Amino acid sequence: MQNADPAAALRSRHEFILQQALARKIVRTKELAQHLSVHEMTVRRDLDLLSDQGLLERVHGGARLQSKANDEVAYSLRINEHLEAKSSIAKKALELIQDGDTIALDASTTTLQLAQLLGAKTVNTIVSSLDAATILAGLNLPFTLTGGEFHARARSFVGAHATGTLKRLHPDKVFFSSKGFSPQTGFTDAHLPETEMKEQLIRSGRLIVALLDHTKFSRVALHTIVEMDAVDVMITDLEPEIETRNALEAADIRLLVTEV
């Protein structure tokens, strides 16, 4: 897992350590060093850094997750997963946005990448993500936050208040992602309140754009958000299989593939 870029190597080690901590009660310094092919002292420094961030609690010979840190750790891992693909998808999505548009972003980590690029546009944005709101505030861009009940695992707002707000809003373009997609099940997600938010967001918009990295294809999560015919454009990082391409064409969905 060594990497010529020290920052990338550090991030890769931390992601591996946190993944192990989520899966196991305690991670051991010696075992981590063997898996990562680094010195035990390097692992100890990593554990100390993650402990300082409030993610791990040091124990004799290793560390364990801080109590109540599961949601934060899971989100931290998800936001960095397939980051290059998400970034390329966001850049392609930006090309669909015109100055003066009102756009809406769901609370996915892919649309969070798009939020970071919006300083190049003059737009109004509707968001349900706490992190997206923070980014837009930092860019001094106008935005509407749906409000509602805070969902810690996705750092987003859900519930009746949030969906009620969306029913009164009508963005020009909606950008969303999902946990899975297949022609048979459509776009699916795991958490019902998030699914309801995405569904209402899609209902509210004029142009609906799905942002999916290649790992989402042929995956099926628990709840269907919308069927294929609700979506106008799909942006992904790799060309999907012929069956999926044919299904997208039959559903009149414009497919855009980035060059990662």
Task: For residue 180, give the CATH number of its domain.
Answer: 3.40.50.1360
Residues 205 and 102 in one domain: yes
Q: Domain boundary residue among 60, 77, 94?
A: 77
Region of 37 (left: φ > 0; alpha: ψ -120 to 50; beta: rest) is: left
Question: Which amino acid does the sequence have at 135?
Answer: I
| 215: pLDDT strictly greater than 80 | yes
Q: For the segment 9-66, what is each residue's pLDDT rounded down to a tens digit?
A: 887 888 888 888 877 878 999 999 999 999 999 999 999 988 887 778 899 999 988 7
Residues 147 and 219 in one domain: yes
Residues 157 and 222 in one domain: yes
Is the Cβ–Cβ distance between 192 and 227 less than 8 Å? no
Long-range contact set of residues 6-10: C-beta below 8 Å, sequence gap at least 24: 10/46
- Mean pLDDT over 167-181 rounds to 95
The predicted pLDDT at position 68 comes to 62
Residues 119 and 218 in one domain: yes
- Mean pLDDT over 100-119 rounds to 95
Residues 135 and 186 in one domain: yes
List alpha helices for 24-141, DSSP H: 29-36, 40-52, 70-80, 83-94, 109-115, 130-138
| 72: pLDDT strictly greater than 70 | no
Taking the alpha carbons at both ends of the chain, their separation in whole angstroms is: 22
Number of domains in the chain: 2
Domain presence at residue 1: no
User: Could you tell me the residue range of the domain that residue 30 belongs to?
Assistant: 6-77
The predicted pLDDT at position 225 comes to 95
Q: For the segment 136-166, what is each residue's pLDDT rounded down to a tens digit?
A: 999 999 999 999 999 877 789 999 999 999 9
Q: Domain boundary residue among 31, 55, 77?
A: 77
Burial class (CB in 10 A: 0-12, 13-18, 19+), 45: middle
Residues 115 and 56 in one domain: no
Is the Cβ–Cβ distance between 221 and 178 less than 8 Å? yes
Residues 69 and 110 in one domain: no
Is the Cβ–Cβ distance between 118 and 140 less than 8 Å? no
| 174: pLDDT strictly greater than 50 | yes
Residues 49 and 89 in one domain: no
Checking DSSP bridges between strand 62-65 and strand 27-28, what pairing results, if any?
A: antiparallel
Mean of per-residue pLDDT scores for the chain:
89
